[in-house]
Structure 1
Amino acid sequence: MLKTISFLILIFSFAMNLNAQDLSKHQWEDRLVLIIAEEENETFQQQLTELQKHQQGLKERKLVIYQILPEKYTTGFEEENWKTSSELFQKYKAEKSGFRIILIGLDGGEKLDQTEVLSVEKLFNTIDSMPMRQAEMRKNR
């Protein structure tokens, strides 16, 4: 009986890891910016353009960009290497908007969530006010 329960727990844990396979690998390594849209629209493109202008600042803050559309996603700004999956879109899509952007911290928690274009200034100020980022900045002086 104990072996059966242990086996079921192992299978359940494995299944949970599959659901979180794409984002959990970043925990304690990277901060994430998830850009979720119903389609590649003007707001989606404005957000990408806003972030692309500040790639050094993104790198300094250990930010990984996820572009998430209904049937596919990719990381970074490249238009290649899209992966087919609707899992991330289903999990993070906006309820009442065709656009959503989420900041996920090193600990895996959501730190910022909005349905309009996020300015780099607000993004960086939010991150720079976090205790872990403050420690990173002190360490790098």
Structure 2
Amino acid sequence: MRNLTLLIILIFYGMTSKAQILQQYQWENRIIVVYSNETELDLVSKQLDLLMEEPKELSERKLLVITANNDQQKIVFPEDSEWLRSSLTDELRISVETEFEVFLLGLDGGIKLKQQEIVQTEKLFSLIDGMPMRKAEIRRKDQ
């Protein structure tokens, strides 16, 4: 009970760590994080627009899309959430000088792509589809 209370307090005050933010999705979802230091909001908007054009492909690949800035994060796919205080940028080791960055995290939680420009969906899907776990998912689906 004490651990649950502590977890609720940490979440409430936005002091969640990588374990609470990213590990809760490990082995369940691949994650795309679209980061901006708030000066490059146009790039964030363009990246999210590209991703949201392909909801079926995002779902099929078990993708969770998160947008983040210096101290907040928000899930934008599969469902839109509220902004929450977050240490996600610290956990991903995003430099304070970074204006825009896109991350792809695999089912294992490892960073599979880190790019400081808009990523085309074809590149993301090709990268994911080449991963061993994704290949196994495709084989199971085809059977």
Look up the match of 2:73.
73
Please tell me whether the aligned partners of residues 94 and 115 of structure 1 are also in contact (alpha carbons under 8 angstroms): no
The one-letter amino acid of 2:25's match is H
Using a 3 Å threshold, how does the CA distance of structure 1 residues 96 and 71 change in structure 2: closer, same or farther?
Answer: closer
Residue 124 of structure 1, CA deviation = 0.1
For the residue of structure 2 that corresponds to 1:21, the secondary structure is helix
The structure where helix makes up a greater share of residues is 1
2: distance between equivalents of 1:80 and 1:108?
21
Deviation at 1:91, TM superposition (A): 3.0
Q: Cα distance 1:128–1:79, how it changes in 2: closer, same or farther (>3 A)? A: closer
Count of matched residue pairs: 124
Q: Which residue of 2 aligns with 1:49?
A: 49
Unaligned runs of 5+ in 2: 1-15
Runs of 4+ in 1 over 6 A off after TM superposition: none
CA displacement at 1:69 relative to structure 2: 1.1
Matched-pair contact (CA < 8 Å) for 1:35–1:99: yes
Question: Can you give the 5+ residue segments of structure 1 that lack an aligned partner in the other structure?
Answer: 1-17
Give me the TM-score of the superposition, normalised by structure 2. Answer: 0.79
- Say yes or no: does 1:32 pair with 2:31: yes
**Deviation of the 1:51 alpha carbon:** 0.3
Find the aligned partners of 1:61 and 1:108 in 2 and give their Cα distance.
Answer: 15
